Amino acid sequence: CAIRTRGRPILLFHHKSTAPIRELEDCRARQMIGEIIKNSDYFVISACGLDYQNSRFLDVSAHSLSLDEFAAIISQVDAVITVDTCAYHFADAFSVPTVALFSSIDPELRSKYYPYVKSVMYEVKDGKLFGKHKASTDPDDLEKELEYLSGIWDKIDVKDILSKLEEATQLKLEANVRA
């Protein structure tokens, strides 16, 4: 892989989901990628078609046109940061250290048994979106949900996410030593 010649660990940053209430806006994704680059050694890739310019970022969406291609990309990265979508399931299948960001579904229902996936829940148990899998179909209600969601994502602390990713990476390294 040409990215490997850059000598940095590769992190897939995946901010899109099939439900708008479980994804990050592009502007927030760009901000987070900037913080990841500033606070880590990662070379960041995205398979979402994100417009972002940095020498340590590459959009690989042209190579992720099918689920098989997306899974192949995940199998080759060193780490993943993703919202609640299939990316962390694939990462678990390939034992890739991951942090999954949840905005509505309790991570205990999704990633509890994934040894190298650290999950972060941003919605509170009695919050408006807690337990919702899909966004409202009514345009006015959807707008309210997305406005509310923006406040949920305001709680994101990239340094905390990177710390959790380091924990997941350490677990994998320790498991490899025992194997």
Rounded CA gap, 43 and 54, in Å? 10
Judge whether residue 4 has pLDDT over 60: no
Kindly state the DSSP code that residue 42 receives in the 8-state scheme.
Answer: P
pLDDT of residue 175: 85
Report the distance separating Cα 117 and Cα 81, nearest Å: 10
Helix axes 67-76, 86-93, angle to 10 degrees: 50
Contact yes or no for 15/29 (Cβ under 8 A): yes
| CA 119/CA 27 separation, integer angstroms | 22
Both tokens assigned to 134: 């899909």
What pLDDT is recorded for position 146?
A: 93
Q: pLDDT band for position 3 (50/70/90)?
A: low
Mean pLDDT of the chain: 92
Q: What is the pLDDT of residues 96-121, one digit of tens each?
A: 999 999 999 988 888 889 999 999 99
**Minimal CA–CA distance to 80: which of 103, 114, 123, 113?**
114
